[in-house]
Amino acid sequence: MELQKNFDLKNLNSFNISVKTKYFYKFSSINELQNILEYNKTLKEKTIILGGGSNILFTKDFDGLIIKNEIKGITIKSESKKHVTIEVGAGENWHDFVKWSVTNNLSGIENLALIPGSVGATPIQNIGAYGMEVKNTITKVYYFDIVTQREKILANKKCNFKYRDSIFKNKFKNKFIITKVVFCLNKEHANNSNYGAINEELNKLKMEPSLKSIFQAVISIRNQKLPDPKKLGNSGSFFKNPIIKNQKFVILKKIHPNIVGYPMPSGDIKVAAGWLIEQAGWKGHTEGSAGVHKNQALVLVNYGEATGENILDLSIKIKNSIKEKFDIEITPEVNII
């Protein structure tokens, strides 16, 4: 076991924030995980589990133990005429798995290309993009129960998946470590290209909708709109799109005829937070090294030297101004530590 002390997390969080953790440990098996948790019974440090580090904002040094999940492996478990069931280690890179699925001609996650982070993080906030959500392909989630110190399995229906939400963000918070995720992918291709800019992008690329072309179109759209965290620190959408009552949306629409909202199955409306933030004048705004991205107002960025606190301060100003201008509460999608 190699426990590192006073470890700099700059390369392990996509905001590229330089903060130190008192202890740092990587595990690539349940056994190693059990060992470190056992050892921590003497250390008694509070613990954070890090995956790809792409949905986290560190605002100060961490006085505890950060353990990084590096459980790997992509294994086909079973196959039928229409489906293939695949078990994936939580520490695999998400986009690498999406690439693997497209290379193997399997559909179901191609619209989720280029989302940064690890496979194990995807069920926690039920990642979604371009009309697809990961909950539609996950069949079960293996997790290590920190209380009982045993590996357990949760079937899809028990995960309480909702928009950017699951049981792992609520009832199970801080009590679990995802170890493996099982996906059921389709041999038949849905060619789900009706969402947003995908068809437009396919026309530009002069391509018919197919598994591979949709994958390429999503990559191309994301590259145009969203900054690459390797070049510019960010963690994708900083805020969730707020969900408001239809009644309130109708009133807002009278004042702001161009407001963007999508009806939810419940009848409520999911409002595009990017639109609200842009209308409030924040798009492209910078404060020192912290800023709001020039192409997508939902994304906060670190131009180099920003601290987590700088980003947090900016996010609070944005949140307050949206409350003031539209009477809408926006909440962070990113975990703030």
Q: Which amino acid is at 312?
A: L
Chain centroid, CA 278 distance in Å: 22
Interface region with ligand EPU, contact rule CB under 6 A, candidates 43-51, 271-279, 309-317, 320-328: 271-279
**What dihedral do alpha carbons 215, 217, 222, 224 form, nearest 10°?**
150
Which residue's CB is nearer to ligand EPU, number 224 or number 320?
224
Concerning whether 235 is annotated as a catalytic residue, the answer is no
**Of these residues, 28, 164, 210, 309, which one is catalytic?**
164
Whether the CB-CB separation of 168 and 159 falls below 8 Å is answered with: yes
Q: Which two tokens stand for residue 40?
A: 């921590």
278 belongs to the binding site for ligand EPU (CB under 6 A) = yes
**Of these residues, 101, 118, 237, 315, which one is catalytic?**
237
Binding mask 179-198 for ligand EPU (x = CB under 6 A): -----------------x--
Q: Is 316 buried (19+), middle (13-18) or exposed (0-12) by CB count in 10 A?
A: exposed
274 belongs to the binding site for ligand EPU (CB under 6 A) = yes
Least distance CB 260 / ligand EPU (angstroms): 4
333 belongs to the binding site for ligand EPU (CB under 6 A) = yes
For CA atoms 226, 229, 232, 235, the dihedral sign is positive
Concerning whether 150 is annotated as a catalytic residue, the answer is no
Which residue's CB is nearer to ligand EPU, number 121 or number 185?
121
Residues paired with residue 332 on neighbouring β-strands, in sequence order: 239
Residues paired with residue 336 on neighbouring β-strands, in sequence order: 57
Q: How many DSSP H helices and E strands does the chain contain?
A: 7, 20
275 belongs to the binding site for ligand EPU (CB under 6 A) = yes
Least distance CB 230 / ligand EPU (angstroms): 16
Q: Which helix (H) or strand (E) holds 218?
A: helix 211-225
129 belongs to the binding site for ligand EPU (CB under 6 A) = yes
Whether the CB-CB separation of 144 and 100 falls below 8 Å is answered with: no
Interface region with ligand EPU, contact rule CB under 6 A, candidates 65-73, 145-153, 236-244, 324-332: 236-244
The residue nearest ligand EPU at its CB is 236
Concerning whether 29 is annotated as a catalytic residue, the answer is no
126 belongs to the binding site for ligand EPU (CB under 6 A) = no
